[in-house]
Structure 1
Amino acid sequence: MSSLGKGLASAALGALLQARGFSVRLRKLDPYLNVDPGTMSPFEHGEVFVTDDGAETDLDLGHYERFTGVPARNTDSISSGRVYSNVLEKERRGDYLGKTIQVVPHVTNEIKDFLHIGEDEVDFMLCEIGGTVGDIEGLPFFEAIRQFSHDKPRGQCIFMHLTLLPYLAASGELKTKPTQHSVKELQSIGIAPDILVCRSEHPIPEKEREKIALFCNVRKDSVVAAYDLKSIYEAPLAYHKQGLDQAVLDAFNISPAPKPDLQIWNDVYDRIHTTDGEVNIAIVGKYTQLEDAYKSFKEALTHGGMANRVKVNVSWVDAEVFDSQDAAPYLEGFHAVLVPGGFGERGTEGKIKAAEFARTRKIPYFGICLGMQMAVIEAARNVVGMADAGSEEFDYEAGKKRFEPVVYHLKEWVQGNAKIKRKTDDNKGGTMRLGSYDATLTAGSKVAEIYGSLTIEERHRHRYEVDTKYRAQLEEAGLCFSGMSPDGKLPEIVEWTGHPWFIGVQFHPELKSKPFAPHPLFADFVRAAVESSRLV
């Protein structure tokens, strides 16, 4: 079933293999028919993770990067929609020479071709298939990996299956039958798991472990327990304790196995559990009912806490609640405020009020993507005096002009040596400013001090930009444009001079933060929150 932790198990295994000196790459195969998650609602699929090369991917790729530090690429994520799209494009071009196009071999070959990409670059390629065994959407993927394993020389490919061991409180026992049936379903399509990772809320008795091994046709030491943890960053050490990495090396007949160096993860564990205090930070957004919608933000704040050895208590505040009322009753008591990205007008008035609250109360404020744009609109309205300041995005959504657009639709920009052009009515999927772009920082600014550099590279995902024609008025009021695109046309960072910590960024720094390498902006934001907590 979903949400058992396939992505986390894959990421933790990748980290453990790295600790033993091997190189790894992880990739995700999703059976849904969307070409990518870019146009899916956050309520449907959680956040969209963006790679350096501009791919919009599943949030599990965020786990892969956070645990291994290996930057994901657009070749590390594929869906049924992308597979079928590729197959149909080839059919239209005549690549199949008039043959009848079928799931086997054409769709399965497309999936296998994806699995082969870059396989010679690393020691281990870990490929996670989303969904649940038995789902009709996943059958082409299961058939493809069955074929893939036979195409490979013996001992070059193994299967790992994650299952649930439910606990029946009435009888006080763990039930192994769901695992047995899941394995039986896989075996019926020609796949025999080499390793079983069993998710359980309770310790797995030796008798149950032996039973699973017997009826699922695996070695007993290949039945690996996956228990609930206080922090996901305990997973590498927990899986190592349960013998997951050793089971994988045994399955590949790698002996003697290199001894692991777990110093990084021991340090991470220590920073999670040994803290010098705590801070309370509010995330003011509109997808607060589903925490996965802001997964990378929460993790980056946790990393910032590790850097400062404090526990970060994150509270989710629905921006719509104070769209038409004062934000103070909802935000008082927090040591800092973060306003994340988003699309559409819903909840934006609340985000503007959150920016005003942080600016006037001198509370640390971190605005990311739309959060930066709302901070600029707040400044234009309440400091510069442009009462009707707003965004072209909201006018377009409403179908009429209501605002003076301080934020406008991005029509063209430079990517490498090419000029990219977009129209308002372009298709939604893949048409934003996506991926990694350079920015130039102002010497002496707070962000230049935080980064320790005047040039940075960060990931973007947006189609609206702050208009520079208002820059002079805003800077005269005290809102400094401290980061710009190299050509000086696109604002990347704004900050209030004279404020303890008020920074807005157009990019998404949370996507590059890791527990063993916290992003400098998040590390310093949490530091500022600690300072704020001492003033309360």
Structure 2
Amino acid sequence: MARFIFITGGVVSSLGKGLMAASLAALLQARGYKVRIRKFDPYLNVDPGTMSPYQHGEVYVTDDGAETDLDLGHYERFTGVSALQTDNITSGRVYRDIIAKERRGDYLGATVQVIPHVTDAIKAFALADQGDNDFILCEIGGTVGDIESLPFMEAIRQLRNELEPFQTVSVHVTLVPYIKAAGELKTKPTQHSVRELAALGIKPDILLCRAEHPIPESDRRKIAQFCNVRAEAVIPALDAPSIYSVPHQYHAEGLDREVLRAFGITGAPEPDLSAWNDVTDRYSNPEGEVTIAVVGKYVGLPDAYKSLNEALVHGGLANRVKVNIKWIDAEIFEGDDDAAIIAALEPMHGILVPGGFGERGSEGKISAVTFARTRNVPFFGICLGMQMACIEGARAAGFANASSTEFGPTDTPVVGIITEWMTEEGLQSRAEGGDLGGTMRLGAYPAKLSPNSHASRIYGGAETISERHRHRYEVNGAFIEPLEKQGLIFAGMSPDGLLPEIVERPDHPWFVGVQFHPELKSRPFDPHPLFAGFIAAALEQSRLV
């Protein structure tokens, strides 16, 4: 049976529990252990699929079609282990399933309560699908003391009593703030957070203390004394130059060593960090730089494009260059002010139009596509970005009213909603007016690439690829022929030949649009080929400017 590491947070949110979980998992993996990471989200949404990116950040999609918290992206990028439906649960999903069972009569007339029914469901989730993993890391969202997280804390408490000794470890992430007026760090917030956790029946084994200034040894001993942990188990977590240097930093402070010691594991091999050494070397010692314009809708919150941001960095690692990202609100390109478009995009070495939903900013994205096409600037369109490239191509071909039915009625629906498509399991159907959370093509789907296409060369000559999708609308197959006459080639299609997956322009230095989300499968030690190719093209463009 696997060993469990429960990760909680205190004092404030956004302390980096997800990054900490991913880094710890990477260190254990580097020591030769098999790991899996799970996220417990206390909010009442069934999943984040219908939540605003401004509130929650991006929605991360797994191969098996789960819409999950963005922390699962950290988990995958740091470990290379593909997440599953069973790796993310919310309070909403727990309560939905329990109420469904109650309505069916599964509880045989019993009074349904938080204890034991809710806590039992949470424990079952934690213990399910263990496989042959040595460690399962479970991150609890929110902070200690939140009303929403209490059932999850109680479930952890019960599991720590029910499982065998040395089978569970509790890691608590806290803040050690620096008070500028006093000129010193304060340990009281950490003490209070640990006391709150102890009041819930959970004694942490290890404290990871986030701080902006080095924590003196005297303060570490003070925290250890008042929080009832070993001094060596108080791990400083200072701000790092990049997220990819965090595993090195935590290893240097002894995090993985203390976790193994808490489990009673001795004689474990030292971690092989050679892959991470290469990543940090490429990140810290670039041999050039490029500037990429991301023309999107949610640019006010970088977490809305978290995986995209990291995939661009990975593309830079593949080419050993620094990638400067210029986030541009697509709405500033709407109207007749060509000067604004030229001023914003002319200095760019590449233009990327990402995914999104809704009409807002669409005309600005189309203007960005036009600029990239006519100025021969490397262009990369993802999901909605590909659809905008097709609409722009249709308008250039003479279809002046070309648009998407997502934006309202149109007599030239280059893009429209899809209600049926084929999968390996058979025909999939969705109701056009159904719940927003159930009308999308989600998860990994195969695509066939045209031989001798640019896309095929990018993928190393592959004939078939598999990529993750999250969208409700598709390019209308009726417009393939007129678009190809205009020069936009459909280089990737669904296996049945009905759904466009990749478009490109052979007469352009680098112009690619994809219906899927390649950023979700990019890793720092294995950059996605589309991003590596895009940054390589941008680097070539930088030499021409």
Q: Aligning the two structures, in what range does the TM-score lie when normalised by the shorter sequence?
A: over 0.9
1:394 to 399, 402, 407: 407
Aligned to 2:535: 526
Distance 1:235 1:173 in 2: 24
Q: Distance in 2 between matches of 1:275 and 1:43?
A: 32
> What's the counterpart of residue 468 of structure 1?
477
Deviation, structure 1 residue 403: 4.7
**Structure 2 partner of 1:337:** 351
What secondary structure, in the 3-state scheme, does the structure 1 residue paired with 2:143 have?
coil
TM-score w.r.t. structure 2 length? 0.97
Partner of 2:7: none
Note the alpha carbon deviations across 1:468-495, whole angstroms, 9 max, x for none.
1111111011100000000000000000
AA aligned to 1:347 is G
Letter in 2 for 1:415: T
* Deviation by residue 1:314-355 (Cα, 9 ceiling, x = unmatched): 010000011113222221100000100000000000000000
User: What is the CA deviation profile of residues 213-250 of structure 1, one whole-angstrom value per residue up to 9, with x for unaligned ones?
Assistant: 00000111100111101110001101000100001000
2:173 corresponds to 1:162? yes
CA positional deviation for 1:2: 1.4
Residue aligning to 1:501: 510
1:173 corresponds to which of 175, 184, 192: 184
Say if 2:245 and 2:280, in contact at 8 Å, map to a contact too.
yes
Q: Distance in 1 between matches of 2:80 and 2:502?
A: 25
- Equivalent of 1:479 in 480, 484, 488: 488
> Is residue 408 of structure 1 aligned with residue 416 of structure 2?
yes
C-alpha distance in 1, partners of 2:45/2:218?
43
Q: Which residue of 2 aligns with 1:234?
A: 245
SS at match of 1:264: helix
Q: Which residue of 2 aligns with 1:422?
A: 430
In structure 2, distance between residues paired with 1:207 and 1:465: 61
- Say which SS state the counterpart of residue 516 (structure 2) adopts: coil
Alpha-carbon distance in 2 for matches of 1:16, 1:403: 56
**1:339·1:368 contact (CA, 8 Å) conserved in 2?**
yes
Contact 1:56/1:430, CA 8 A, preserved across alignment: no
Q: Which residue identity lines up with residue 386 of structure 2 in the other structure?
A: M
- Is 1:49 the equivalent of 2:57? no
Asked whether the 8 Å contact 2:432–2:439 carries over to 1, the reply is no
Q: Does 1:358 align with 2:365?
A: no
Task: Indicate if the aligned counterparts of 1:165 and 1:198 stay in contact, CA closer than 8 A.
Answer: yes
- Residues 412-458 of structure 1, C-alpha deviation per residue, up to 9 Å, x if partnerless? 00122221111221001132000000000000110100101111000
Cα shift at 1:138: 0.3
CA distance in 2, matches of 1:337, 1:484: 24
Aligned: 1:7 with 2:7 = no
Contact 1:377-1:390 at 8 Å conserved across structures: yes
Partner Cα separation in structure 1 for residue 50 and residue 132 of structure 2: 32
Contact 1:359 1:502 in 2 (8 A): yes
8 Å contact kept, 1:280–1:334: yes
1:120 Cα deviation after fit: 4.3
Q: Which residue of 2 aligns with 1:104?
A: 115
Instruction: Check 1:165–1:403 CA distance in 2 against 1; reply closer, same or farther (3 A cut).
Output: farther
Specify whether residues 186 and 50 from structure 1 end up closer, same or farther in structure 2 by C-alpha distance, changes over 3 A only. Answer: same
Asked if residue 141 in structure 1 is aligned to residue 152 in structure 2, the reply is yes
Unaligned runs of 5+ in 1: 396-400
Q: 2:136 aligns with which of 122, 125, 128?
A: 125
Q: Which consecutive residues of structure 2, in runs of 5 or more, have no partner in the other structure?
A: 1-11
Instruction: State the alpha-carbon separation in 2 of the partners of residues 334 and 155 from structure 1.
Output: 55
Q: Which runs of 4+ in 1 moved over 2 A?
A: none
Could you tell me which amino acid in structure 1 is paired with residue 235 of structure 2? V
Task: State the secondary structure of the residue aligned to 2:97.
Answer: helix
2:82 paired with 1:76:
no
TM-score relative to the length of structure 1? 0.98
Give the corresponding residue for 2:77.
66
Report if aligned partners of 1:38, 1:430 keep a CA contact under 8 Å in 2: no
Identical positions, percent: 63
Q: Residue 227 of structure 2 aligns to which amino acid in structure 1?
A: C
Aligned with residue 434 of structure 1, among 442, 454, 475: 442
